[in-house]
Amino acid sequence: EAQVTQNPRYLITVTGKKLTVTCSQNMNHEYMSWYRQDPGLGLRQIYYSMNVEVTDKGDVPEGYKVSRKEKRNFPLILESPSPNQTSLYFCASSFRWGEKNIQYFGAGTRLSVL
């Protein structure tokens, strides 16, 4: 089954404790992206990757890191989480980055930073 898988689904942590949210897709997609969703703000892009070893900042990259060592995986790293990073995070992927490509979303990771 074609899917985007995020882990964990729920995470509660404390300020400053490094964490990683994993994202994996089994569709051989080149383009992957991370979004955060906050009430009243919709989804905002954190980072994206056009292919292996190619990543770039989205609209709200501060406090986050990503890596794309393999095509299927695109982990989101919070080196020193802060309470303002409490949010719902979605990973997405699409075959290519260009037009006529649809992004498919993972189930989301709800993160609380205390």
Residues near other proteins, by CB under 8 A = 31, 33, 35, 40-45, 48, 50, 56, 58, 90, 92, 94, 96-108
Residue 16 Cβ, how far from other proteins at the closest point, in Å? 29
For the CB of residue 99, give the shortest distance to other proteins in the complex, in Å: 4
Q: How far apart are the first and last CA of the chain?
A: 36
For the chain, what's the residue count?
114
- Pick between residue 1 and residue 79 the one whose CB is nearest to other proteins: 1
CB of 33 to other proteins, least distance (A): 7
* Cα–Cα distance measured from residue 102 to residue 104, given in angstroms and rounded to the nearest whole number: 6
- Minimum CB–partner distance for residue 79 and other proteins (Å): 24
Q: If you ran DSSP here, which 8-state letter would residue 30 be given? A: S
Of residues 42 and 79, the one with the C-beta less far from other proteins: 42
Which two three-digit tokens encode residue 113? 């930073």
CA distances from 103 to 13, 25, 29, 45 (A): 29, 12, 10, 13
Characterize 34-46 residue by residue with b for buried, 16 or more Cβ atoms within 10 angstroms of its Cβ, and e for exposed.
bbbeeeeeebebb
Q: Give 18 or 96: the residue with its C-beta nearer to other proteins.
A: 96
Measured from the CB atom, the residue of 28 and 80 that comes closer to other proteins is 28
